[in-house]
Structure 1
Amino acid sequence: MKKWAPLLLSVVLLLIQIMGYLQLRRFPAFVEKWYSMGIYTYISRAMRIGLGWIPFSFGDILYVLIIILVIRWFVIHFKEVVTLSRKRYTQVFTALNIILAFFHFAWGFNYYRQPLNEILELDATYTDEELIRVTQKLVFTANALHEQLQPVDSLKVEFTRSQSELFELAPSGFSNLGAVYPSLDYGPASIKKSLLTLPLTYMGYSGYLNPITGEAQTNGYIDNYKTPVLILHEMSHQLGFAKENEANFIAVLAGMNHDDLYFQYSATIFALGYCLNDLSMKDPLQMELARAAMHYGIIENYQDLRDFWAPYNDNVIEKISQKTYESYLKANNQPDGMRTYSYVVALLVNYYK
């Protein structure tokens, strides 16, 4: 029995961890106070200060090294793994325990924090009339911004700044927002182009947060209207908003409160896109009326993003990665996976109505 003790212990510890995390979901106020607004604020700043000065993605290099070492380990110990070696399986379960614990302590507990609508004291539901009203407001704002950035209403707004320039500008949106919501003040920056942009593109991702290093990673190929709001989205993850829909909403707030018109435009038409999608399901006629009121150049900006993704749509890598990420989201307290339109729209409508 003693020979099996290390393996049994590692398996039991993993099960205890998983059950503990499942139970923790029942106490969002506790997580909010002690982790998201407590311990994590220091972890996040320390990571950004520690690695933000490095001009390249340290996390991407770390990921590649980890993948190489894991493959090497399995190649070397393949026979022992296949033959169910106690020693090797103990090592595997011990590693899983360490990885899961570190992930949650470094960032993952944010999945269990209070819903954003409760933090900002917003309703989680909305009426069709409110949706129509907010969509009309966004169309008006989008048209006004488009006129300032592009004198020809049938042409798209051109985004010519490099991502590096946008990285420098992005934090001020959170600084302006921090005057209203102090917990959203960003602080030291750590935003970088992903060194893995090519595989990231084939996987269908615009960017990601590395929970191991706290670095915000962006798809280096994207240079259209979504780039500013994409950067703000990944920065929102750094602030502890782990859920995709909530990070989208925070990015919209930061963009609309930014001093730069391009950030304002990016955030506005990003929010408008969500409302139009929701409206198309609830009242197609009102959606068509809203679309008809938009400058055609805004539609061209939307098309620009679709054109970027078109060559990569429906490839095998994307299908596998999207399915995997969908499962990851559901396992981390996001039961709707990537289908989160209604909650994002609820936040938008109740904030801007």
Structure 2
Amino acid sequence: MKISLKTGIALSLVPQIVLVKLIGNQTQFIEHYYSNGLYPFVSKLFRTLFGWIPFSLGDILYFLLILLALGYVCKNRRPIWKNKLKFCRNILMVLSIAYFTFHVMWGFNYYREPVAQKLGLKETNDYQELIDFTKLLIAKTNRLQLEITKDSTQKVIIPYSQNEIFEKSLEGYYKISRKHGFPQYEKPSTKTSLFSTGLSYMGYAGYLNPFTNEAQVNGRLPNFRFPVVAAHEMGHQLGYSAENETNFIGYLVTAENEDLYFQYAASAYALGYCLSDIRRGDQEIFDTLFGELNQGVLLNFQEMRDFWTSFENPLEPVFKAIFSSFLKANNQSKGIQSYNAVVSLLVAYHKQYPL
């Protein structure tokens, strides 16, 4: 029986999924031939092509594709209803093409060598080590807040524009690449999303468009959080897919920046994750440590809480559940909770490189 090209592409989705999982088990193969082989070429090519454009081409592409899909369904609703099997075949064909393109252009990075292994870090979940590290972070965050504001009761206001923050983030990447030999960042393509309001309602601080390799940052974020998120999304561009690893890279790049505002943003960012882990373990210890924070630091944390609270809506948990399922399907078993796994990386790193 002769199978049409469209049917063949649609049917290829299942063997593609199987093949990706099989190849994904070969971490060294992925690291050598994809993450350090094909992907850097693809990534640099698309960052060169689109990085100079001041707006997000990927956002426009997504918007147009959604409009085309809705227009097609509305225009062809009767033929679709009469030929449901054919319509399902066409959907599978599109999914098959998207699945293939996604993995070639970025997705195989989910199966690469962990950054802890690359840096020789030994991660642990020792609660006392976490407490000790958090105390050091509190001291550093308080010191930076006071050094910047000269008043422990005043919150830090980062005075840079978003484009200036993008530029300054490159300095941190340069410094880290000299220190550890990676990650090296060239040909920047980092932009604020055209749909930042929508991202805020979905509960997202940013994302990488895997089809244009543009790092998208939620332009409505307070500047207090903007530097770390920008560095996080740039880390995705360099082929680090796991959210705990890009959280770590975002922190590291921002913390190593010579700018005090960046150092404060990074320190407070890491502190938030550490305090969250401590709170889950022992509320009393959390309350004690939280009480040691300068009032100005607390105001910055409140600034972030107020921001996300202002966008809370009934659909936000749905969007987060979808994203969590996406992460689980791509080798991140903890789903959206993998963001919090950055804590063990932070503790392990600063055992080797003390604060």
Measured against the shorter chain, the TM-score band is over 0.9
Task: Give the secondary structure class of the aligned counterpart of 1:216.
Answer: strand
Compared CA separation, residues 248 and 342, structure 1 to 2 (3 A): closer
Query: What CA deviation, in whole Å up to 9, does each residue of 1:35-80 have, x standing for no partner?
Result: 1122111111111111111111111111111111111222233333
Q: Displacement of 1:266 after TM fit?
A: 0.5
TM-score, normalised via structure 2 length: 0.94
Match of 1:12 in 2: 11
Give me the whole-angstrom Cα distance separating, in 2, the residues matched to 1:100 and 1:184: 27
Give me the whole-angstrom Cα distance separating, in 1, the residues matched to 2:78 and 2:113: 46
Q: Is the 8 A contact 1:224 1:301 kept in 2?
A: no
- Please, what is the CA RMSD of the aligned residues? 1.7
Task: Give the secondary structure class of the aligned counterpart of 2:207.
Answer: strand
For residues 63-142 of structure 1, the aligned pairs below 5 Å read: 63-84=62-83, 87-142=86-141
Give me the whole-angstrom Cα distance separating, in 2, the residues matched to 1:175 and 1:211: 23
Residue 135 of structure 1 aligns with an amino acid whose one-letter code is T
Q: Is the 8 A contact 2:10 2:94 kept in 1?
A: no
Identity %: 39
Task: Give the secondary structure class of the aligned counterpart of 1:224.
Answer: coil
Task: Give the secondary structure class of the aligned counterpart of 2:116.
Answer: helix
Compared CA separation, residues 292 and 316, structure 1 to 2 (3 A): closer
Compared CA separation, residues 248 and 155, structure 1 to 2 (3 A): same
Q: Is the 8 A contact 1:224 1:304 kept in 2?
A: no
Residue 322 of structure 1 aligns with an amino acid whose one-letter code is K
Residue 318 of structure 1 aligns with an amino acid whose one-letter code is E
Give me the whole-angstrom Cα distance separating, in 2, the residues matched to 1:187 and 1:10: 36
Q: Displacement of 1:81 after TM fit?
A: 3.0
Query: What CA deviation, in whole Å up to 9, does each residue of 1:195-229 have, x standing for no partner?
Result: 11121111111111111111111111112311111
Q: Displacement of 1:7 after TM fit?
A: 5.7
Task: Give the secondary structure class of the aligned counterpart of 2:223.
Answer: coil
Query: What CA deviation, in whole Å up to 9, does each residue of 1:104-153 have, x standing for no partner?
Result: 11111111112222222212323112111111111121112111111110
Give me the whole-angstrom Cα distance separating, in 2, the residues matched to 1:124 and 1:81: 53
Match of 1:160 in 2: 159
Q: Displacement of 1:340 after TM fit?
A: 2.4
Query: What CA deviation, in whole Å up to 9, does each residue of 1:225-280 have, x standing for no partner?
Result: 11111111111111111111111000011011111111111111100111111111
Give me the whole-angstrom Cα distance separating, in 1, the residues matched to 2:203 and 2:340: 22
Residue 169 of structure 1 aligns with an amino acid whose one-letter code is K
Give me the whole-angstrom Cα distance separating, in 1, the residues matched to 2:297 and 2:84: 60
Q: Is the 8 A contact 1:51 1:58 kept in 2?
A: yes
Q: Displacement of 1:12 after TM fit?
A: 3.0
Gapped regions of structure 2 (runs ≥ 5)? none
For residues 200-279 of structure 1, the aligned pairs below 5 Å read: 200-279=199-278
Match of 1:326 in 2: 324
Q: Is the 8 A contact 1:149 1:157 kept in 2?
A: yes
Match of 2:301 in 1: 302
Give me the whole-angstrom Cα distance separating, in 2, the residues matched to 1:179 and 1:285: 41
Q: Is the 8 A contact 2:173 2:184 kept in 1?
A: yes
Q: Is the 8 A contact 2:10 2:90 kept in 1?
A: no
Match of 1:351 in 2: 349
Q: 1:339 aligns with which of 337, 340, 345?
A: 337
Q: Displacement of 1:307 after TM fit?
A: 0.7
Task: Give the secondary structure class of the aligned counterpart of 1:217.
Answer: strand
Which stretches of structure 1, 4 residues or longer, exceed 6 Å deviation after superposition?
Answer: none
Compared CA separation, residues 342 and 64, structure 1 to 2 (3 A): closer
Match of 1:280 in 2: 279
Q: Displacement of 1:341 after TM fit?
A: 5.4
Q: Which deviates further from its counterpart, 114-123 or 42-51?
A: 114-123
Match of 1:143 in 2: 142
Give me the whole-angstrom Cα distance separating, in 2, the residues matched to 1:319 and 1:327: 12
TM-score, normalised via structure 1 length: 0.94
Match of 2:36 in 1: 37
Q: Is the 8 A contact 1:245 1:341 kept in 2?
A: yes
Q: Displacement of 1:85 after TM fit?
A: 5.3
Compared CA separation, residues 197 and 341, structure 1 to 2 (3 A): closer
